[in-house]
Amino acid sequence: MAIRLLALDMDGTLLNARQAISPENRRWIRRAAENGVTVCLASGRGRPTMLPYYEELGLAGTPFVAVNGGEVWRDESRLLSRRPLDRSLNRRLLAIAEETDAWFWAYGCEGYYLTKADWDPGFVQEEWLKFGYYAEDREVLARVKAELGRLGPLEITNSDPNNLEINPPGVSKAAGLAEVCRELGIRMEETVAVGDSLNDLAMIRQAGIGVAMGNAQPAVKRAADAVVAANDEDGVAEAIRRFVFGEAAK
């Protein structure tokens, strides 16, 4: 079956350790697009920090999935859907960070991104798309997760082994990708999804072909149909060669 859509996570996947798109990845992404494949960025990032890479790749006019599926954009300026967290949870999410001394951050619906270092107390009144915690102490993360379990249904994933990312129930990159497919008239079976972290897991499972990076977390590798080279070794280019153009693995 021909592949019609390529979904790419950004950090740890498309971007190397220098937060850049390698020339090899860029070349193969452009070749895929020139051959009629829709390239859809699917990131935990918000729209403002996605757009420079989106523009660098020449993706103007194409959909993308932001904030782990909290937003789906028709293109760089038109919002297709937005799913914020229940505002009544804001104070409790913040309190859990304070009680456990975890680093924290939040994405607001109006493009705001605040961390523990620059937190504005008034921000707790805003609508949030995602709230995140970071701690290198796994016991702290376990305590955070236990407290989150008392708040009711939530999507709890990560973009790094040392963090937890919180979205509303049912919000995921997979749901965002499905929405993009409906918008474009593409079946999920006609997609390739590439990622490295737990916020990519559902997307990798539901895509026609799910691909894990060589640097992916173990659970992602186990769920994927294939594993390619790491993000510092042009793994995205390998995924495109193998699964969009059908080149044999080396």
Find the distance separating the first CA and the last CA of the chain, reported in whole Å. 22
Are 194 and 211 in contact by the 8 Å Cβ rule? The answer is yes
Q: What angle do CA 69, 72, 77 make, to 5 degrees?
A: 145
Give the residue numbers annotated as catalytic, written as ranges: 9
- Burial zone of 82 (CB within 10 Å; 0-12 exposed, 13-18 middle, 19+ buried): middle
Who's near 209: CB < 8 A, 6+ residues apart? 3, 191, 192, 193, 225, 226, 243
60 in helix, strand or coil? coil
Handedness of CA 232, 215, 223, 181 (dihedral sign): negative
Q: Which residues pair with 66 in a beta bridge?
A: 71
Q: Which of 74, 55, 77 is nearest to 64 (CA)?
A: 74
